[in-house]
Amino acid sequence: MRLENQSSVSEFFLLGLPIHPEQQGVFFALFLGMYLTTVLGNLLIILLIRLDSRLHTPMYYFLSHLAFTDVSFSSVTVPKMLINMHTQDQSILYAGCVTQMYFFIFFTDLDNFLLTSMAYDRYVAICHPLRYATIMRGGVCILLIAVSWILSSASALSHTLLLAQLMGKPSQVNQTAVSDFLLLGLSEKPEEQRLLFGIFLGMYLVTMTGNLLIILAISSNSCLHTPMYFFLANLSLTDACFTSASVPKMLANIHTQSRTISSSGCIAQLYFLLMFGGLDNCLLAVMAYDRYVAICQRLHYSTAMSPQLCVLRLVMCWMLTNCPALMHTLLLTSVAFCAHKAISHFYCDPSALLKLACSDTRINELMIITMGLMFLTAPLMLIVLSYGCISWAVFGISSPGGRWKAFSTCGSHLTVVLLFYGSLMGVYLLPPSTHSAESESRAAILYMVIIPMLNPFIYSLRNRDMKKALGKLFGNGKMFLLP
């Protein structure tokens, strides 16, 4: 399909409200006042709920999230409208329009999900008052919030990607529109395909089963409702999603002997890989901070790692990973690709995709570097700093038994960190001349498939509490206990 005689769209015009020029000042003041009232009123609700312990109930927990969503929802459109009214400039950049569209859909859906959760809370309180404390316990409320965020993000992303393709900048004249890509996979030898399918299907099933068991064991055992296991459950969920973003498509391609992936599927896969990969890094950093507070600031642990702050940190991790991943994905939708569309990988790797581009990719490359600094360097520095302080505090303990007990609480997490970051550094910190596309694919298997599969074993093999929880889950409290 040739795209000729079409101009590139770099911005749009927001015509705004049908207001006469002499009324601009009045309407500017009116909307500014309403916006400030919205922000201050909702922030006041959040602050009051946070400070008053009597309001630490499920209903007010959902209300505080609804207030935050309302502030964010208003902030998506009103500030830009006020700026346009003040500057008499009605333009909005292409990237700004797409980003505004994403967050508008995201916070609209999140508002609806929260209202539904609040309705369910009222139903339980009125129709099942005796079971209210059990049904609406803290873990269930957190799960409802997390599910609301995930569903809203997925819905907004799907709408935005489809609309971005319609709004996207067309390729220059005499360039071919690319509708799909080819994933070359791990091997081109037909005799190896059945073996690869069996190996990766087995690893994927072990990964999903192991991480889901961790989540079920933690959620069903009240003894494990602590900050460390709260973040561990979220890490298991992230690992399962991270692996599911690439392996099922690879297995489908191997089984059908087809290497194609649609352009929209490739971009969606890239988004989820960036988001869940970044979320994995952020959660490992938060878990390192949890161990630092538990060992170095024991007297302040219950305050510093309160349930509200843990949920806040989790939400911040989701937001910090979602926004850059979305920006990078949307920037990629405006890149023009050449006729050559073979990706020498088993998934849509961003670097491999940019090598196929025919247009300027400097902004995309800068975004990759920025995301690397945000999701690799910054979390790793926080982890190293945390364990430096932990080591200093532990070596100050005079008793060898005390030192071993303190270090044993960090052993599983430290093992996962070393495996995860070791594999990443082995690929991305070595000179390009020392590795090939084949070695990059093998290293990607390590941190995208093997490590998420090993994490449940690492966290449960030498953890007596996890073994007890898993034993209760299977109805036999002695099944996983050490002899």
Residue 104's pLDDT is what? 87
The tokens for 322 are 């979602």
Question: Of 207, 216, 137, 237, which Cα lies nearest the Cα of 471?
Answer: 216
Same-domain pairing of 160 and 187: no
- Output the pLDDT for position 169: 47
Range of the domain at 31: 10-169
C-alpha distances (whole Å) from 383 to each of 2, 405, 416 are 51, 20, 12
Is 5 domain-assigned?
Answer: no
The answer as to whether 2 is a domain residue is: no
Q: What is the pLDDT at residue 478?
A: 45
Residue 479: inside a domain, yes or no? Answer: yes
Beta carbons of 111 and 66 less than 8 angstroms apart: yes
Q: Are residues 405 and 466 located together in one domain of the fold?
A: yes
Q: Which of 142, 169, 196 is the last residue of a domain?
A: 169
Residues 163 and 192 in one domain: no
Q: Write down the pLDDT at residue 170.
A: 46
Low-confidence ranges of the chain (pLDDT < 50): 1-8, 169-176, 433, 477-483
How far is residue 1's CA from residue 189's CA, in Å, rounded to a whole number?
32
121, 227: one domain: no
Considering 148, 169, 190, which residue would you say is the last residue of a domain? 169
Q: Which CATH number belongs to the domain containing residue 473 in this structure? A: 1.20.1070.10
Say if pTM beats, i.e. exceeds, 0.75.
no
Same-domain status, 40 and 86: yes
Give residue 286's pLDDT: 92
The predicted-structure confidence for 324-360, as pLDDT tens digits, reads as follows 787 788 778 777 777 667 777 788 888 778 888 887 7
Residues 386 and 237 in one domain: yes
Quick check: is 265 in a domain?
Answer: yes
The verdict on 15 and 39 lying in the same domain is: yes
Residues 127 and 193 placed together within one structural domain of the fold: no
Residue 41's pLDDT is: 92
Same domain, 215 and 324: yes
